[in-house]
Amino acid sequence: MPVSSQFGFALPSMNGFGTIKWLARVGFLLKGVLYMVIGTLALQVAAKAGGRVTGTRGALTTILE
């Protein structure tokens, strides 16, 4: 029984090209998400919605909240 019929969806091809295309699509998706996060942070800075100046630890804490 093929793996795709067990789960009800087609898995990416593992012959090389299908895997590369799948990884490229995931990479583009992650790049888009990263651009949205950076854009949101830039808009907050432009609107002066940010708080006090802090170091890298404070910046990471703010992003993770």
Q: State pLDDT tens for residues 2-59.
A: 555 555 666 555 566 788 888 889 999 999 999 999 999 888 878 877 666 667 777 7
Instruction: Give the residue with greater pLDDT, 29 vs 1.
Output: 29
Which three-class secondary structure state does DSSP give residue 3? helix
Domain ranges of the chain: 14-64
> So what's the pLDDT on residue 11?
58
* Whether pTM exceeds 0.75: no
d(CA 28, CA 47): 28
Neighbours of 45 (CB within 10 A): 10
Instruction: Give the residue with greater pLDDT, 2 vs 61.
Output: 61
| Band (1; pLDDT cuts 50, 70, 90) | very low
